[in-house]
Amino acid sequence: MQFSYINPTQIEFGQGKISKISELIPKEYRVLFLYGGGSIKKNGVYNQVKDALNNHTWFEFAGVEANPKKETLDKAISYARENKVDFVLAVGGGSVIDGAKYVANAFYYDGDAWDLLDGKFTPTKALKIGAVLTLAATGSESNSGSVVTKGETKEKRFFHSPFSYPQFSILDPDVLKSLGERQLVNGVVDAFVHTCEQYLTQPHGALAQDYYAEGLLRGLTELANTFETRDDLWYANLMWLANQALNGLIGLGVPQDWATHFIGHELSGLYGIDHARTLAIIQPNLLTILADEKKDKLLQMGKNVFKLDTNNPLEVVEKIRTLYSSLNIDLKISSYTEDKDIIEKVTSLLEKHGFTEFGDRGTVNKEVVIKILEKSI
């Protein structure tokens, strides 16, 4: 086992923490306050942030959409430059935080910011970022990843940058209470699949990573099972479980398999399907097709997460599928689009993006993707 680990993001967790922004951003910084479609104006978060920025010079940019678009974010970059900002404060879910990362990393770059996503540009400096998380799902508030969609080509791509770790992230679970069921379910599922992508691979014997991942999966399963009776602690648990699922810890020095995400991203890019729903559709079918090669970890998951006594990995896959169905998720792509060329479009985009042999063993090739998609349509 070998790894380097640093996660520099300061976490401020708990009720009423938004007011801390006033101390967390140096007073002399000019702040870009970046947010989405307006949910923060309805639930009081906008006013809390505004109050906390009382002694700062700040500028607001609204309208970062779910599955954030390059075209919108490029406007945010111009606006940030016009106003000579020093700091980007993202107030929203993964989309707004990912958008802030794109803006911050491209701020000093003269070329097309999309070059970040195509791997043609590696930043050497960037604006600093802070986040107020309003949707617990992606872990973006504590990691260096960012996912952006180019509207023109419907390509959804990701980039990592060491400058993308927020300086701080504020996690006030009360903020989650204005989320509708659809987004809360998305949060549970996205965090569950993040954990699986770093766990359902092959035996490696790294006990901290395995057992911590199992703890997160058990916690998330419990949240799914108590969804209808959620209380304050439920929201707090979702916020922290989702953070821990993708802050880098459980994937240290162990094999990872992001195949479900890579296929899912193409589906969101093409059809605008919620990120978590693409995962819920694809993952059980991918695990069915790869049940033999993932047998050991699936059985370990069955025993340690679901308390299942079985030697059949497909029974464990069925447990996962049932978990998603119990959250009322449609598990067929055809529920979201009438397009008849899904397989052709997804496979050619995957190829264009260099995903020809992926998964932790490199066994997910075009033929396997086609089998997975056939089961998913």
Site of interaction with ligand NZQ (CB under 6 A):
36-40, 43, 66-67, 92-96, 98, 134-135, 137-140, 143, 145-147, 175-176, 178-179, 183, 186, 190, 246, 261, 268, 275
Rounded-to-integer distance, Cα 278 and Cα 331, Å: 8
Please report, as a single letter, which amino acid is at residue 77.
I
**Alpha helices, H only, the chain:** 21-24, 39-42, 45-52, 70-82, 94-106, 181-197, 207-225, 232-245, 259-271, 275-289, 295-304, 313-326, 342-352, 366-376
Beta carbon nearer to ligand NZQ, 198 or 347: 198
Q: Which is nearer to ligand NZQ, 36 or 219 (CB)?
A: 36
Strand partners, 147: 158
Among 12, 155, 172, 190, indicate the residue that binds Zn ion (CB under 5 A): 190
Residue closer to ligand NZQ (CB basis): 99 or 219: 99
164 binds, among ligand NZQ, Zn ion, none (CB under 5 to 8 A by kind): none
Distance CA 48, CA 16 (A): 9
Residues in the chain: 377
Q: How far is the CB of 179 from Zn ion (least distance, A)?
A: 17
Instruction: Return the one option of Zn ion, ligand NZQ, none that residue 281 interacts with (CB less than 5 to 8 A, by type).
Output: none
Q: In whole angstroms, how close is the CB of 246 to ligand NZQ at the nearest point?
A: 6
Query: What residue type is 377 in one-letter code?
Result: I
* Closest separation in Å from C-beta 286 to ligand NZQ: 15
Stretch that binds Zn ion, among 49-57, 114-122, 150-158, 189-197 (CB under 5 A): 189-197
CA angle 164, 171, 222 (to 5 degrees): 110
145 binds, among Zn ion, ligand NZQ, none (CB under 5 to 8 A by kind): ligand NZQ
Asked if 174 and 272 touch (Cβ cutoff 8 Å), the reply is no
In the complex, least distance from residue 275 CB atom to ligand NZQ, rounded to whole angstroms: 4
- Structure tokens belonging to residue 332: 């067929």
Q: How far apart are CA 320 and CA 185, in angstroms?
A: 14
Toward Zn ion, which CB reaches closer, 48 or 247?
247
CB of 169 to ligand NZQ, least distance (A): 12
CB under 5 A: which stretch of 73-81, 96-104, 187-195, 226-234 binds Zn ion?
187-195
- Could you tell me the smallest distance in angstroms from the CB atom of residue 156 to ligand NZQ? 7
Which two tokens mark 82? Answer: 């016009």
Sheet architecture: strand order including 30-35: 10-13, 168-171, 128-133, 87-92, 30-35, 57-61
Give the nearest distance from C-beta 206 to Zn ion in angstroms.
22
Q: Which is nearer to ligand NZQ, 286 or 302 (CB)?
A: 286
Neighbours of 359 (CB within 10 A): 23
Interacting residues with Zn ion (CB under 5 A)? 190
